[in-house]
Structure 1
Amino acid sequence: MMTLITVKKLFISFRHLIHQISKDAMLFFVCISPLLCGLLIRFGIPFVENLLTEHFDKVILLPYYLIFDLFLAVITAAMFSFASAMVILGEIDDGITSYLAITPIGKSGYLVSRLVFPLISSLFMSIVVLIVFSLTRPSVSMIVIISIMASIFGFIMSMIVVSMSTNKVEGLAVMKLSNILTIGIIAPFLVSEKFQIIFFLFPSFWISKFIIENKFFDFVVFIVVSTVWVLLLLKKFIRKIK
């Protein structure tokens, strides 16, 4: 069981992570970018929809407002997790992780402060961003559910970056490639049901599926698929920092 002293040390380590992010202009911008995306979506999309409606005399984007909300939730979680992943890569490159075993928090504490705490932070960030900027105005309970799923997905994307990269340059490239996984969000909206099986291993697909159909089965599949991703990536990452 964690003692109060251990928890305090974990928060100190997490505070150090935040400090490193705040000192890096790129990572700082990454963390505030969801706010800019939220502003663009909240005010830009309805403006464009009004123009399109007047021109074509029918609604164009309105039926897909939920897609923008889901992308906003995922982007918010992914950006903060990505910033944490880049700090981890920098620490690996500097050889800091080699000395974790003799620190008070150890490697397990390091993983908690660098992976779990950012996950929790991204959850709260997603909730706030959706409450302020969502187009569909879902209930608070639905916002919480969307944010939980989005933060788990963001965690997976950060694990892909730290597991598949050896430095920050590679991390940027891997992050761009991992964005392919977000296309699962649009599949339930635009892809016929018989072809949706293609996206079975995309956690983002099950986020949309669950929110649209509200079936507990879809949520369970999301958890199972996400767990497989996390276990495989975490195993690779732990081998990397040994």
Structure 2
Amino acid sequence: MPVLLPLAIADFKLVFRDASLRIFLVMPFLIFLVILVALPALISRYPGADQFTHVILMGALIQTSTMFGFIYSIVLIHEKEMQVAIVYGVLPISKVGFTLTRLVFPFVVSTLFSLSLLLIQPFFFLDLTSCLLLAILSGLLAPTLILSLASLSKNKMEGMTWYKLLNLVITIPLVAFIMPQYAFFFAIIPSFWIYDTLNLMIAGQSYGISMLVGYLYFLFFGIMILLDFTRKHFRT
């Protein structure tokens, strides 16, 4: 905590200095408004819309994490642009440990927002343990996205472009829950397993295998991306 808190404060200062990023801090709250206010009103007006409630909730869950992922990726991209990353690279500290420490805060925030969304959404009853396990899985998307964007982007403009592309890839598996016959094609994308786990929870079916696959996917991709990030970022 003595190390984590100063890093989190420093990163947040960078976020608030950039006016273009402040809107992204508001977006998770707007997502909550959609789920709590707009969607119930839509279903009340158009009863047939309730058949897509689970898909909308899946999308809202994922976007809550991607927002924080994008915000923190810009912090890392900014220090790459300013050549600060090179300074970090010559410090006598573990680059992997330093990077993981900086990822703790966005992971925790994403997990808490995901958990809150799952617990307060008014459409399905989901027990606390299931929600917590799924929120942690969804929260892992934030650090994965942070490292991916920071590794791929040389500047903020590239970061925005890559975010749009990766966010599309993350979101597109939702098609599998509108047209289940195509589910097999999307299983290779890690976010599919978050969607599938929530879908099984809503249906009251066993979700253990789906959740386990999701955790293993993120563990594998996370390690690969972390190693690639530490290799590139501190030698900019």
Task: Check whether TM > 0.5.
Answer: yes
Deviation at 1:133, TM superposition (A): 4.4
Q: Compared with structure 1, are the counterparts of its residues 61 and 230 closer, same or farther at alpha carbon in structure 2 (3 Å cutoff)? A: same
Aligned to 1:138, the other structure's residue is in SS state coil
Deviation at 1:181, TM superposition (A): 2.4
Contact 1:21 1:28 in 2 (8 A): yes
- The reply on whether 1:92 has 2:80 as its aligned counterpart is yes
Residue in 2 aligned with 1:31?
A: 25
Q: Compared with structure 1, are the counterparts of its residues 140 and 133 closer, same or farther at alpha carbon in structure 2 (3 Å cutoff)? A: same
Residue in 1 aligned with 2:143?
A: 155
* 1-structure distance, mates of 2:90, 2:61: 38
Deviation at 1:63, TM superposition (A): 2.5
* 2-structure distance, mates of 1:125, 1:104: 35
1:160-186, Cα deviation, whole Å (9 max, x unpaired): 211111111000000000112233552
Q: Determine which structure has greater relative contact order: mean sequence separation of CA pairs < 8 Å that are 6+ residues apart, divided by chain length.
A: 2
* 2-structure distance, mates of 1:72, 1:146: 13
1:61-101, Cα deviation, whole Å (9 max, x unpaired): 21322222222221111111211100000001101111114
Contact 1:73 1:146 in 2 (8 A): no
Contact 1:10 1:105 in 2 (8 A): no
- Residues paired across the two proteins, number: 229
Decide which moves more: 225-234 or 16-25. Answer: 225-234
Deviation beyond 4 Å, 4+ runs, structure 1: 101-106
* 1-structure distance, mates of 2:15, 2:131: 27
TM-score, scaled to structure 1: 0.84
Q: Structure 1: give runs of 5+ residues left out of the alignment.
A: 1-6, 54-59
TM-score, scaled to structure 2: 0.86
Contact 1:162 1:237 in 2 (8 A): yes
Contact 1:65 1:136 in 2 (8 A): no
What is the percentage of aligned positions where both structures have the same residue?
Answer: 21
1:9-51, Cα deviation, whole Å (9 max, x unpaired): 2321121111211222222221221101210232111212222
RMSD of aligned alpha carbons: 2.2
Map 1:185-204 to 2 at 5 A: 185-193=173-181, 195-204=182-191
Query: Which AA in structure 2 matches 1:197?
Result: F
Query: Which AA in structure 1 matches 2:33?
Result: L
Map 1:71-82 to 2 at 5 A: 71-82=59-70
Query: Which AA in structure 2 matches 1:86?
Result: I
Q: Structure 2: give runs of 5+ residues left out of the alignment.
A: 201-205
Contact 2:61 2:114 in 1 (8 A): yes
* 2-structure distance, mates of 1:159, 1:108: 12
